[in-house]
């Protein structure tokens, strides 16, 4: 038996409870992982609070990411004692996830825990931070460089945003952080932001083309915010879009694309191919300041995950929450 969160669906309502689960109930997979740390990402918040249909099979153990030690393996790449990180692949949505002491997973989904990180640090980064790195890599593939102008990060006090600010600042960019919590300006400055702006500036419908302000942007927010960011992106610039915290819609025009040659790069972490994942984790080991990572991280016990998920969905969490699963 092991402890884990279990989501059951009744008459439309979802019940989330910390349960003792029989290991025999774990889904098929060729690696059994002893999860040491998991995390609370936006999607975990949605799943635990039933705010959006993230979970597609019931009952479900939530937790889209985890880090820990391999206990059993029939996969050629993994042996007992190896340390591994899991992000995405539908885990916590269609396959039982990592907000539990045990997870049975596919070996092909796992990335070796980088030597630079403890399991706790890997989950402080978690899917949000790994996605922020994928966004930075998308900007770099486009060819933009810090000398080209300012970079904007939206949803800046959130998980993706906090890691993006810290990474871009470390890489030499002048970072502007857009947030609804301007009282957190000192926090964002401590992560490396050079300027902090109110997200209200971006929240409402705007003109198709606006003053050119950004050489590049990372957007975790979508909707009018993304449309306005595109309209403010400089000639030839790029916006990496990964989130929908304001909304899934994109109420803009093609003007930034056809008149300014702006590029909109979509970023997905869930099904990202393995070479890109490994590159992202190597880059995180190189480019993320461990002190800044620690400064953006709070820890909760496994039993506290549902309460913390409610705080996350209410916009009362800054940065990242790691969930201590073992011990």
Q: Please, what sign has the CA dihedral across residues 232, 140, 122, 70? A: positive
Quick one: 15 or 249, whose CB is closer to ligand NDP?
249
Residue pair 56/93 in contact by the 8 Å Cβ criterion: yes
127 lies in the binding site for ligand NDP (CB under 6 A): yes
Site string for ligand NDP, 253-282 (x = CB under 6 A): --------------xxxx------------
Quick one: 135 or 262, whose CB is closer to ligand NDP?
135
Token pair of 95, please? 């396959």
Residue 302 CB contacts under 8 Å (≥ 6 apart), including other chains = 3, 4, 5, 18, 38, 99, 100, 101, 323, 324, 325
Token pair of 26, please? 């774990």
Residue pair 241/160 in contact by the 8 Å Cβ criterion: no
Candidates 24-32, 35-43, 69-77, 90-98: pick the segment binding ligand NDP (CB under 6 A).
Answer: 35-43
86 lies in the binding site for ligand NDP (CB under 6 A): no
165 lies in the binding site for ligand NDP (CB under 6 A): no
* Alpha carbon distance 229, 223 (integer Å): 10
The correct pick among 312, 322, 323, 325 for binding ligand NDP (CB under 6 A) is 312
Interacting residues with ligand NDP between 209 and 238 (CB under 6 A): 220-221, 225
53 lies in the binding site for ligand NDP (CB under 6 A): no
156 lies in the binding site for ligand NDP (CB under 6 A): yes
Tokens 């630079």 belong to 116
The correct pick among 43, 102, 234, 283 for binding ligand NDP (CB under 6 A) is 43
The correct pick among 62, 158, 237, 256 for binding ligand NDP (CB under 6 A) is 158
119 lies in the binding site for ligand NDP (CB under 6 A): no
- What secondary structure letter does DSSP report for 50? T
What minimum distance in Å lies between the beta carbon of 20 and ligand NDP? 29
* Alpha carbon distance 292, 270 (integer Å): 25
87 lies in the binding site for ligand NDP (CB under 6 A): no
Token pair of 55, please? 């979970």
- Per DSSP bridges, beta strands 83-87 and 111-112 are antiparallel
Residues for the chain: how many in total?
327
Binding site for ligand NDP (CB under 6 A): 41-43, 127-128, 131, 155-161, 179-181, 199, 220-221, 225, 242-246, 267-270, 312, 315
């Amino acid at each position: 038996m092991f402890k884990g969160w279990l989501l059951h669906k009744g008459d439309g309502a979802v019940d989330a409870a910390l349960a003792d689960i029989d290991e025999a109930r774990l889904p098929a997979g060729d690696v059994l992982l002893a999860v040491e740390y998991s995390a609370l990402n936006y999607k975990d918040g949605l799943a635990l609070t039933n705010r959006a249909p993230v979970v597609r099979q019931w009952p479900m153990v939530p937790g889209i990411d985890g880090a820990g030690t391999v206990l059993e393996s029939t996969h050629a790449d993994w042996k007992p004692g190896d340390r591994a990180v899991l992000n995405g692949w539908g885990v916590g949505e269609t396959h039982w996830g990592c907000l539990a002491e045990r997870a049975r997973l596919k070996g092909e989904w796992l990335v070796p825990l980088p030597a630079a990180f403890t399991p706790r640090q890997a989950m402080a980064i978690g899917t949000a931070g790994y996605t922020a790195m994928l966004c930075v890599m998308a900007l770099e593939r486009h060819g933009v460089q810090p000398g080209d102008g300012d970079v904007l990060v939206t949803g800046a006090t959130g998980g993706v945003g906090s890691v993006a600010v810290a990474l871009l600042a470390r890489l030499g960019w002048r970072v502007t952080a857009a947030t609804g919590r301007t009282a957190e300006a000192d926090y964002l400055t401590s992560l490396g932001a050079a300027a902090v702006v109110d997200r209200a500036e971006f929240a409402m419908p705007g003109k198709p083309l606006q003053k050119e302000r950004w050489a590049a942007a990372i957007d975790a927010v979508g909707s009018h915010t993304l449309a306005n960011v595109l309209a403010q992106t400089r000639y030839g610039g790029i916006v990496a879009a990964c989130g929908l915290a304001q909304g899934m819609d994109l109420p803009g025009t093609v003007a930034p694309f056809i008149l300014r040659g702006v590029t909109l790069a979509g970023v997905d972490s869930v099904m990202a191919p393995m070479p890109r994942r490994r590159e992202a984790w190597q880059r995180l080991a190189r480019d993320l300041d461990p002190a800044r990572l620690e400064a953006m991280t709070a820890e909760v016990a496994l039993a506290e995950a549902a309460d913390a998920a409610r705080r996350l969905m209410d916009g009362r969490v800054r940065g990242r929450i790691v969930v201590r699963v073992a011990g």
